[in-house]
Chain A
């Protein structure tokens, strides 16, 4: 069964460093998302992406964050200058094309980011 994959599974970085989290969505999907979950808190929406542009972003997704689909398969989240509070599990998700596209989002296993 096709699934969303994410790399790396864990990343440790120093505060102020740039990190790139990578995702390979399911191959025929057209809608892509990033969420994060800080330990002990809810899963939070960061950004949605369709047709090579951002559809919606949350207030968390400030100028330090960017997303890109550099080729036909990868979808990346970049954090330019990490802060301690960026430590979280980051989930990528994707949705298939179709009428009920927003009603089905498939999540990857997550990347655990630790900022020291």
Chain B
């Protein structure tokens, strides 16, 4: 299932700088998108979501941008902290059943 893609398997940034994680999708019927962070041997932790009627949502250090015409979303983390080092998943859904389609994840490393 290639409906949601995270083309960068890994990203490394310096502490204090901005981390930008990208996600592309192919299904124009998706109407909500979520970002999760995952540590090894733990479940995904919900970070932030955005509805397709918006183009930006912000929560503290996390901002998600949605470009529907490009079928692209991104997660910005500013400033990045070493504790942000984890695997980040984007996920997309449509309708009212809650089914999420996940990307394959991007491993973020924030160096002190």
Instruction: Report which A residues bind B (CB closer than 8 A).
Output: 4, 6, 31, 33, 35, 42-45, 48, 50, 55-56, 58, 91, 95, 100-110
Contacts and interface: CB of A to CB of B under 8 A. Distances in A.
B102 interface: yes
Contacts of A6: 43
A50 B97 CA distance: 8
A44 B103 CA distance: 10
Contact of A105 (B95, B96, B100, B105): B100
Contacts, number: 75
B88 interface: no
Given A31-B98, A48-B98, A55-B98, A107 B45 contact: yes
A48 B50 CA distance: 20
Given A48-B97, A105-B98, 4 more contacts: A91-B43, A95-B98, A104-B49, A105-B100
A95 B32 CA distance: 14
B34 to A, nearest CB: 7
A110 to B, nearest CB: 5
Contacts of B34: 103-105
B46 A107 contact: yes
Given A103-B32, A103-B34, A103-B49, A110 B42 contact: yes
B43 A102 contact: no
Given A48-B98, A56-B97, A105-B98, A100 B46 contact: no
A83 B73 CA distance: 37
A42 B1 contact: yes
Task: Give the 4 A-B CB pairs with smallest separation, nearest first.
Answer: A56-B97, A107-B43, A55-B97, A43-B102
